[in-house]
Amino acid sequence: MKKNNLIFNMATTALAIVISMMIAFAIIFLVSEDPARAIESFLLGPLQSKRLIGSIFTTAIPIAFTGIAVSIMFQASMFNMGAEGSFFLGALAAAGAATSFNLPGILGIIIPILVGGLTGAIICSIPAFLKIKWGANELVSSLMLNYVTFYLGLYILNNFIRDKNFGALASHPLAQNNKLPRIVQGTSLHAGIYVVILLIVLSYLLIFKTSIGMKIRMLGQNPEFARYSGIKVGGVVIFSQLIGGMIAGIGGSVEIMGMYGRFQWTSLPGYGWDGIILAILARNKPQFVPLAALFLSYLRVGASAMASNAEVPKELITVIQSIMIMLVTANALLKSFKQKMVVKEALTNGTNS
Amino acid sequence: MIKKGNSTVPILEARNISKVYGNGVYANKNICFSLNEGEIHALVGENGAGKSTLMKILFGMEKPSTGEILIKGNPVVFSSPQDAMKYEVGMVHQHFKLVDPLSITENVVLGYEPMKNGLIDRKTAEEKVKEITKIFDIREDLSTPVGKLPVGTKQKVEIVKALYRGAKILILDEPTAVLTPQETVELFEKLIQLKNEGLTVVFISHKLREVKQITDRISVIRRGELIETFFTKDVTEQEISAKMVGTTYTSALDKGESKLTEVVLDVKNITSKGLGDISVVNNMSFTVRGGQIIGIAGVEGNGQNELIEMITGLRPIDGGSVKINGMDTAGKSIIQLRNAGLSYIPSDRIDRGLAISMTIEDNMIATKLDQKSLYTNGLLSRSKIRSMSEKLVKEYLVRCNSVEAEVGMLSGGNMQKVVVAREFTQGATLIIAEQPTRGIDVGAAKFIYEELIKLRNQGCAVLLVSADLEELYKLSDHILVMYNGEISAYIKNPSEVSETELGTYMLGVKKQSAEEIKGAYYEKE
C-alpha cells in the first residue's frame, strides 16, 4: 500500500510535468519563428557549457534552502509563507553582520550565517505565535508579514548599513573572508552547496528520525490526535516554524555570501515562493527537495538559454511552473488510475483488512 | 417464501453486487440479496463486513463496481438517492441527516416541498406531515426546531421524512444504537405497525436479541460476502453470531477474581460550566480503585464527554478536583497525566485516537516516543519500531498486510485494535475506555473485553463509559448512571438491577438519594 502511494505520487508528478511541458511547447510554436531551435536550446541549452552546468547548481542552491524550510513548516500543517521574508531579512542581517564587525578568518563566514539564520527563525515564528496566541490564520499573517519584513529591511539598509559612496542603494561591500569560496573553476558554484547538503541531511533526520520530528508530523496529520497523545502542540508548532525560518535565513546569508559582493536587493527576490513550489513537488519531504530544486533550476537555465538563442521570453518558465503546481496539487488527477491500482491490490489480497 | 402479494418476484433484488473502495477495501463481494414485500429483513454482520456499503448501494449513494439491482424484477440504475426514492426506497442513516435549526415540518418536506404559485405551500406541507406523523405520536409541536428534539424523536422525524417521500422500502442503519431501552420498544411497535400496513423494512443491527425479536428473515454478511439468509424463527442468537464471526461465540464472560487495591482515580466535586449558566457536569464525586471496572451509563449528551475530557486533561476543570494515583491533575499537562499512569481509549478513534493518514507503526509509537528502546544512537530506529509494531499487531490481532500500511486503510475494528494495542501497553494503572467497542465487530469487541478484564485482574483501575448496556453489564463491577451532568444512581450490584430499571435512571425518571449516590466515592476508614 505504501509503495502504491509512492508510485501514485510519482506518476502524478510525472504526468503534471509532461502536460505542462506540452503546453509550453505549444506556446513556443505559437510565438517563436524558429520553434525547433527554441525547444532545442530550452531542453539542451543548459548542457552546452561548463559554466551553464555550474549555474544549474548555483541556481538550485537558494531554492533548495527555501524548499526544505517550507517543507518542514508545511509538515506541521502550518501554511507559513514567511520563508520569503526570512530569506530576505536573513540575507540582509548576514550582510550587516559581515560589514559591521571585523570578523577574523572562518568566523567571517560562520557568524554572518548564524546571524542570518537567527533572523530568519524569528521572522517565521511570528505567524506561529500569532496563531497559537490569538488563532490568527498563518497564511494571511505571514503574507502580510513579508511586506513588513521587506520595508523593515529597506529601512535598515538605508539607515544603518548603506554604503553612501556607492551609486545605488546597497550595503558596504563584503570583505574577502566574508565570501564563500568558489569550488569549481570556470563556474559560479560556491561552497554554499556544502551547507545546503548538510541541511538536507539534517532536516531529513529531524523530520523522520527524531522524536520532535515525529511530533511535528503527528501534529500536521491530526492536531487533535497530537494533543491527545500528550504533545505540547504550541511548542511543537513554534519549534517547526523556527527551524524552517532558520533554514530560509541561512539560505539568504549563503546566497549573499556566495553570489554577491554586497547586499543590494531592493525588492523581494522570490526565493521563498520558489520554496513553496519545491515543497509541493517534493511533497514536503526534505530528501526529495534537491531533486526538485535541480529540476526547476534546469528549466530556468534552459529558459534563459532559449531567451538569448531564440527570443522566446524566459517568463515562459512561470507558465510551466504554474501549470505543474496546479496539476500536482489536483487530487482528482489520476484518481481513476489510483482506484484501479487499489482494486487490483484488493483483488490479489482478497481481504478487506 | 412469499407471505403476501400475488407474485413470487422480490420487491427488491441485488444481484452479484461487488464494491471496492478507493482505499482498497473490498466492501462487498458478489452479494445476492433479495427482499420480499412486507417483511422486516435484518442485515447482520461484524463491522467492516459491508452492511452499510450494501445499503448505500441500494439507496443510490454508492455505485456498485459490478452487479445489478432489480425492483420488482426490473433492472434499475441508481446514480443518486433521488433515483432510489423514485423507486420508493428510503433510508434512515445511523447519523441523522437533519437540519437542526429547521422545524420538524421543514425537515420532512425539505427538497420536496409542496408548491403553490411558485412559493412553498406551508399549509399543505403541515397537513401532509401531520397526517404521516399520526402513528408516531410525536409529542412536540411540528414547528419545533429539530435541534431541540430528543434523539428518539429525531429518529421518528427521519422515518417520517422517508415515508413522506413515498418510501415503500425503508432501510434503517443501526436504528437502536442511539436509543434507550424504552425508546427501542416504542420504535419496534411502530415498525410492526408499518409492516402491517405493507411497508418493507431492512434493519441493520449488531444487537442480535433485537434482530431475533423483530425480524422475519435474517441475512448474514461476513467479510463482504453474504453468507446465508435464514427465517428468523429457524435460528438462535448463538447460531447467528456463529455465522457472523465464522466461529462459535458465546456472550457469557467470566471475569474472575481481582484484588481491590488503592484508589487510583479520585474525582471530587468535579464541575464543568457549559456556555450558559447550566453546568454540563455538576458536582460529581466518585472513585475507581485498582482491580475495579466502574461503568458509566447514560444517554449520550448527559455530560459523559465533558467528564472524560476533564479527567484526561483535554478540558479545563471549572470546579472540584481529579487525582490520579494521588497526583492532583490541576495545571498538569497531558503528558504528565500519562506519566502518572493514565491511558485513554477515546470514543472517536478517527478524530482523536489515531492519525489515519499515518502508518500503523507511526500510530503505535505515538505515545511511546520517550521509550529509549525505540532509538539507536539517539535517532528513531525503523527496525526497532517495526519489530515492536509487528509484535503488537500480532498480539492484538490487527488484521493488516503490513505495519507500513496507512491506518485509514483498516476497518473500524482493526483501527480500534491499533488504539487499544498502543494504550494497553503503556504500563498504565488507569484505563479510561470511552465507547471502546462502538461500531466494531463482535469478535474484536470480545477481544477488547478480555483485554480490559485482564488489566483489571492485574490491578488496573478501569473507567468504562458506554452507551451499550449489554457491555456495561458484562464488564462493570459497579455502574454509575449519569443524567444531566450528575450521578443519578450508583448501582453496587449490577446483576440485581434490570436494564429497564437502569433506563429509568438514565432518563431521569428516577433518582437515588444523596446517601445512596455517596457509595460511589470510596473513602478509607
Residue B5 is predicted with a pLDDT of: 45
Distance CA(B165)–CA(A217), nearest Å, equals 47
Q: Nearest residue of B to residue A345 by CA position? A: B24
Q: Does a structural domain hold residue A167?
A: yes
Assess whether A235 and A342 both reside in one domain.
no
Asked if residue B249 has pLDDT above 50, the reply is no
Distance CA(B175)–CA(B187), nearest Å, equals 9
Q: Are B176 and B470 in contact (CB under 8 A)?
A: no
Query: What is the mean pLDDT of the segment spanning B129-140?
Result: 81
Residue A19 is predicted with a pLDDT of: 87
Q: What is the pLDDT of residues A205-249, one digit of tens each?
A: 999 999 999 999 999 999 999 999 999 999 999 999 999 999 999
Query: What is the mean pLDDT of the segment spanning B234-249?
Result: 71
Q: Does a structural domain hold residue A202?
A: yes
Assess whether A1 and A123 both reside in one domain.
no
Q: What is the pLDDT of residues A14-32, one digit of tens each?
A: 888 888 888 888 888 888 8
Residue B52 is predicted with a pLDDT of: 82
Interface test with A, best of B379, B381, B406, B407 (most A CBs within 10 A): B379
Q: Does a structural domain hold residue A48?
A: no
Q: What is the 3-state secondary structure (H, E, C) of B473-506?
A: HHHCCEEEEEECCEEEEEECCHHHCCHHHHHHHH
CB contacts, 8 Å: B405 with chain A:
1-2
Residue A349 is predicted with a pLDDT of: 47
Q: What is the pLDDT of residues B161-217, one digit of tens each?
A: 988 888 899 999 888 877 777 888 888 998 999 899 889 999 888 777 788 889 999
Residue/partner pairs of B468-474 with CB below 8 Å, 24 or more apart: B468/B435, B468/B437, B468/B438, B469/B181, B469/B297, B469/B499, B469/B502, B470/B207, B470/B251, B471/B437, B471/B445, B472/B295, B472/B297, B473/B499, B474/B251, B474/B253, B474/B449
Residue B184 is predicted with a pLDDT of: 85
Distance CA(A92)–CA(A112), nearest Å, equals 10
What are the grid coordinates assigned to B177, written together? 444504537
- The owner of cell 429518529 is B155
Q: Is A6 on the interface with B (CB under 8 A)?
A: no
- Out of A2, A217, A352, the one facing B25 most closely (by C-beta) is A352
Q: Which residue has the higher pLDDT, B449 or A352?
A: B449
Question: In Å, what is the CA distance from B469 to each residue of A89, B475, B501?
Answer: 63, 10, 12
Q: Is A206 on the interface with B (CB under 8 A)?
A: no
How many cross-chain Cβ pairs, A to B, lie less than 8 Å apart? 112
Q: Do A346 and B223 touch (CB under 8 A)?
A: no
Q: Does a structural domain hold residue A170?
A: yes
Positive or negative, the Cα torsion across B63, B64, B66, B70? negative
Q: What is the pLDDT of residues B311-346, one digit of tens each?
A: 999 999 989 999 999 999 998 999 999 999 999 999
What are the grid coordinates assigned to B128, written together? 401532509
Asked if residue A345 has pLDDT above 60, the reply is no
Q: How does residue B496 score in pLDDT terms, banded at 50, 70 and 90?
A: confident
> Considering only CA atoms, which of B319, B316, B315, B312 is closest in space to residue B283?
B319
Topology (CATH) of B263-341+428-520: Rossmann fold (3.40.50)
Assess whether A97 and A207 both reside in one domain.
yes
Q: Do B335 and A351 touch (CB under 8 A)?
A: no
- The owner of cell 509541493 is A280
Residues 6+ apart with CB under 8 A from B481: B296, B297, B298, B487, B488, B489, B490, B491, B502, B505, B506
Q: How does residue A2 score in pLDDT terms, banded at 50, 70 and 90?
A: low
Distance CA(B278)–CA(B299), nearest Å, equals 18
Assess whether A320 and A287 both reside in one domain.
no
Distance CA(B28)–CA(B20), nearest Å, equals 7
Asked if residue A330 has pLDDT above 80, the reply is no
Q: Residue B226: in which H helix or E strand, if any?
A: strand B225-231
Q: What is the pLDDT of residues B89-111, one digit of tens each?
A: 999 887 788 888 898 988 888 88
Q: Does a structural domain hold residue A45?
A: no
Q: Do A346 and B20 touch (CB under 8 A)?
A: yes
Q: What is the pLDDT of residues B343-402, one digit of tens each?
A: 999 988 888 999 988 999 999 999 998 888 999 988 999 999 999 999 999 998 888 878
Report the complex ipTM: 0.83
Residue A353 is predicted with a pLDDT of: 36
Q: Do B26 and A347 touch (CB under 8 A)?
A: yes
CB contacts, 8 Å: B353 with chain A:
225, 228
Q: Which residue has the higher pLDDT, B403 or B276?
A: B403
Q: Does a structural domain hold residue A40?
A: no
10 Å CB burial of residue A338 (0-12, 13-18, 19+) is: buried
Q: How does residue B454 score in pLDDT terms, banded at 50, 70 and 90?
A: very high
Q: Which residue has the higher pLDDT, B309 or B505?
A: B309
Q: Is A257 on the interface with B (CB under 8 A)?
A: no
- Out of A210, A232, A353, the one facing B400 most closely (by C-beta) is A353
Residue A348 is predicted with a pLDDT of: 54
Q: How does residue A284 score in pLDDT terms, banded at 50, 70 and 90?
A: very high
Q: Are B90 and B162 in contact (CB under 8 A)?
A: yes
Q: What is the pLDDT of residues A67-100, one digit of tens each?
A: 999 999 999 999 999 999 999 999 999 999 999 8
Q: What is the CATH number of domain B12-245?
A: 3.40.50.300
Any idea what the Cα angle at residue B55 is, between residues B50 and B59, rounded to 5°? 150
Q: Nearest residue of B to residue A225 by CA position? A: B352
Q: How does residue A58 score in pLDDT terms, banded at 50, 70 and 90?
A: very high
Residue B250 is predicted with a pLDDT of: 43
What are the grid coordinates assigned to B343, written together? 491511558
Query: What is the mean pLDDT of the segment spanning B481-494?
Result: 90
Distance CA(B183)–CA(B194), nearest Å, equals 17
What are the grid coordinates assigned to B197, written together? 400496513
Residue B410 is predicted with a pLDDT of: 79
Residue A13 is predicted with a pLDDT of: 82
Query: What is the mean pLDDT of the segment spanning B425-436?
Result: 92
Q: Do B406 and A2 touch (CB under 8 A)?
A: yes
Determine the distance in angstroms separating the CA of B449 from the nearest CA of chain A, rounded to an integer. 21
Q: Are B480 and B474 in contact (CB under 8 A)?
A: no
Assess whether A219 and A80 both reside in one domain.
yes
What residue numbers bound the domain in which A154 lies? 54-311
CB contacts, 8 Å: A205 with chain B:
379
Q: Does a structural domain hold residue A218?
A: yes
Longest alpha-carbon distance in chain A: 77
Q: Are A140 and A129 in contact (CB under 8 A)?
A: no
What are the grid coordinates assigned to A29, written together? 510554436
Ranges assigned E (strand) in B329-446? 342-345, 375-376, 379-380, 430-434
Q: Does a structural domain hold residue A277?
A: yes
Strand partners for B71: B12, B74
Strand partners for B464: B295, B433
Q: Do B410 and A353 touch (CB under 8 A)?
A: yes
> Considering only CA atoms, which of B344, B365, B342, B362 is closest in space to residue B353?
B344
What are the grid coordinates assigned to B367, written together? 505515545
Q: Do B356 and A343 touch (CB under 8 A)?
A: no
Residue B277 is predicted with a pLDDT of: 62
Residue B48 is predicted with a pLDDT of: 62
Residue B222 is predicted with a pLDDT of: 81
Q: Nearest residue of A to residue B415 by CA position? A: A353
Residue A336 is predicted with a pLDDT of: 64
Asked if residue A59 has pLDDT above 70, the reply is yes
Spatial strand order of the sheet with B89-92 comes to: B89-92, B169-173, B200-205, B40-45, B217-222, B225-231
Report the number of distinct structural domains present in chain A: 2
Domain boundaries, chain B: 12-245, 263-341+428-520, 355-426
Q: Is A7 on the interface with B (CB under 8 A)?
A: no
What are the grid coordinates assigned to A317, written together? 518558465
Q: Are A83 and A274 in contact (CB under 8 A)?
A: no
Assess whether A178 and A125 both reside in one domain.
yes
Residue B519 φ then ψ, to 5°: -60, -20
Distance CA(B55)–CA(B171), nearest Å, equals 7
The CATH number of the domain holding residue A190 is 1.10.3470
Q: Do B362 and A214 touch (CB under 8 A)?
A: yes
What are the grid coordinates assigned to B167, written together? 418510501
Q: Are B171 and B59 in contact (CB under 8 A)?
A: yes
Assess whether A64 and A18 both reside in one domain.
no
